Chain A
Amino acid sequence: MISAPLAVTLTVNGQRRQLLAEPRTQLADLLREQLNLTGTHLGCEQGVCGACTVLIDGVPQRSCISYAVDCDGAEITTIEGFDADPTMATLRQNFSAHHALQCGFCTPGMLVTARDIVLRLGEVPEARVREELSGNICRCTGYVGIVGAVCATARGCTPQESAAPIAAAALAAPAVAAPVENAAPRAAQPLKGGNSLTETIAIAAPPEQVWEAMGDLPALAACLPGAEITEVDGEAIKGRMKVALGPIKVAFAGTGTVRLDAATRSGVLRGAGRDGGTGSSAEGELGFALAPSATGTPGGTDVAITLQWRLTGALAQFGRSGLVADLVRRLAQQFAANLQARLAGEAPPAQPAPLNLFQLLWAALRARFGR
């Protein structure tokens, strides 16, 4: 997809500029590439390192996660725009005197942040300066010189008056939310170290019936949205799984193998999938066993699930393993609820499709049962 560039008007270092930018262009890229203001550095491009910090409408912000079009109408000050600024002049001298830079990569962002600290807070204890500087990473200096330079600049300064309070209106009637159900905490199995999970789901139907129901592929597929089995060949399966996690949409295409044991009503499924969009891969192993229920409805079934998985690529960079575990648990519950509804002859309730390798595996598993 190509998105048409949009007109953007910015006042950059006091000069009004009319520019064109694709919506996806970050302010930092526009400053560096269209305006040649290369003093703004890019390190992490995730908001963490602070190298790209500039003033947007007078306050420091990250130019790596602020779209140029979203800044339309704003005043931008980059490190090139402080020549006449007295606070910045003192900071420059102190940075030099305190050896507060070596390679200089972090310095533009450091200076913009430091100036804000001096003006906003005035003289504050060193610990506070360190806290305020924690969003600017320097790999060279060890920070001692930078902290020293900021403290020296702030000495004797009083905080600038902050902007005016936001005017408040009168609120006639407070909102009333539906009462919170105090559901009893659900007993789950403990999570083992690393990316593995044990979960037992209780289904109010006898094991024979559950085992049999798992063989009815089309109906079971409705219990887990987003899944599609494209090929089944002996023990080998191929499938696709579309899932959404907040704004992240992933489509894993995967292959796997499945082994089932009707005598013990148990099975193991191994699979691996790849999402072309995010360049992320998932691989995992799912073991499950049906047994007469020990905890749920008498005469019901406990489905004991053990799952191990590994994510690589961008998705793994983003996700903490515990978050995937949370999704896996929620999914297990959704699956149980839907399967139960199906066994009771009700249509499964529509559910959102969370990101899950687990879904891929279950989807593949269902295909196997369908044979």
Chain B
Amino acid sequence: MKPAAFDYARAATIPEAVAAMRDGARPLAGGQSLGPMLNLRLARPGKLVDIKRAEGMRGVALSASTARLGAALTHAEIEDRRVEDVTRGLLPHVARGIAYRAVRNRGTLGGSLCHADPAADWVTTMTGLGATMIAQGPAGERAIAAENFMLGAFTNALAEDEMLAAVEIPRLSPAARWGYAKINRKTGEFAMAIGLVILDGPWARVVAGAVEAPPALLPRAAAALLAGETSDLDAELAERLPHLSPADRKLRAVSLRRAIAMLSEAR
């Protein structure tokens, strides 16, 4: 199977990549989502610009409150904790459930977020963590909250000549607990449902992921979790996910209950 012909260039720097994108080039990271689409000839870009080798795209920078991860770090590097983990094991756990090792060795954090498949693991995880996307364009840097980054299926908030340079992840405290439950028929497949719960002192987040739309935050469930009460999860899901059938909503409820149950597991 051959994709339609295209030109290829490597960008050595982010500004070089942005300039190529202004000329209509499509950014190529790991190619693990773009590749299948090109092979199927669903996408026919005239030019690809490799961005994963651009300076700074694989950097890690730490502050007291956050970690900034370059967008071109791979899933496997996160899985293996070669990237310092500030999330009490959440990121490595999620990474290990993405696709298969051979895909994780090439696929990148930023590529997955930009691809914006509603069922992708990082999309839900970054929303749950309240991460910040660092975009780079001709006018410089712009910060976008994870909740505002994915606009819809396969659509992100970047302009045509903007790229994702890094993701800034808030540090969880040593007391933080989380649960992440991905439901799929076969290991490594895209999720049919994702439940994510993070509890960190006075801060809690409950997210229903893989909902065929951007992940849905469930504030009532989060408040109930903080108060140590049980919330009416089904009612909140019905309100937030009216577009899903009752059976599909049930699957999300199950994944959330599994995630909540994981909170009590020792880590």
Q: Residues of A at under 8 Å CB distance from B?
A: 1-3, 6, 22-26, 29, 42, 45-47, 50, 53, 56, 59-62, 64-67, 69-70, 113, 116, 130-132, 134-136, 162-182, 185, 187-191, 193, 245-249, 277-279, 314-315, 317-318, 320, 322-323, 325-327, 329-330, 352, 354
> Chain A residue with minimal CB distance to B144?
A177
Interface bits B32-43 vs A (CB < 8 Å: 1, else 0): 101111111111
Q: A135-B103, A187-B242 are in contact. List 13 more A-B contacts (CB 8 A).
A: A22-B5, A45-B1, A65-B35, A175-B134, A177-B144, A180-B145, A190-B243, A247-B34, A278-B42, A315-B42, A317-B40, A326-B153, A327-B153
Interfacial chain A residues near B5, Cβ < 8 Å = 1-3, 22-24
The answer to whether B245 and A191 touch across the interface, beta carbons within 8 angstroms, is yes
Q: Does B244 lie within 8 Å of A191, measured CB to CB?
A: yes
Chain B residue numbers with a CB within 8 Å of A24 are 2-6, 38
Residues on the B chain within 8 Å of A67, using CB: 8, 31, 35, 48
Q: Give 9 A-B contacts (CB < 8 Å), ordered by A residue.
A: A47-B102, A50-B102, A59-B76, A61-B106, A67-B31, A170-B61, A191-B244, A247-B26, A330-B151
Task: Decide if B154 touches A245 in the complex (CB within 8 Å).
Answer: yes
- On whether the beta carbons of B213 and A165 are closer than 8 Å, the reply is no
Contacts of B67 in A (CB 8 A): 168, 171
**B62 partner, pick from A3, A171, A178, A182, beta carbons under 8 A:** A171
Contacting pair B143 A177 (CB below 8 A)? yes
B43 in complex: contacting residue of A42, A70, A174, A248, CB < 8 Å: A248
Q: Given contacts A47-B103, A59-B76, A314-B42, are A173 and B63 in contact (CB under 8 A)?
A: yes
Q: Give per-residue flags for B148-192: 1 if the beta carbon is below 8 A from chain A beta carbons, else 0.
A: 100111110000000000001000000000000000001110000
Contact: B106 with A277, CB < 8 Å? no
Verify if B116 is at the interface (C-beta below 8 Å from A).
yes
Q: Could you say which residues of chain B place their CB within 8 Å of the CB of A176? A: 132, 143
Are B37 and A318 interface neighbours, CB within 8 A?
yes
8 Å CB contact of A47 from B32, B212, B213: B32
Interface bits B52-87 vs A (CB < 8 Å: 1, else 0) = 000000111111011110000100110011111000
A277 proximity list for chain B (CB < 8 A): 41, 44
CB of A116 within 8 A of CB of B39, answer no
Cα-based distance from A23 to B188 in the complex (angstroms): 29
**A residues near B62, Cβ cutoff 8 Å:** 168-171
Contact with A along B123-143 (1 / 0, CB 8 A): 000000000111000000101
The residues of A that contact B188 with a CB separation of less than 8 Å are 134-135
Centre residue among A2, A60, A62, A329 by max chain B CB count within 10 A: A62
Asked whether B148 lies within 8 Å of A177 as measured between CB atoms, the reply is yes
Smallest CB–CB gap between B233 and chain A, Å? Answer: 15
Closest Cβ–Cβ distance, residue A249 to chain B (whole Å): 7
How long is the Cα–Cα vector from A53 to B68 in the complex, in angstroms? 31
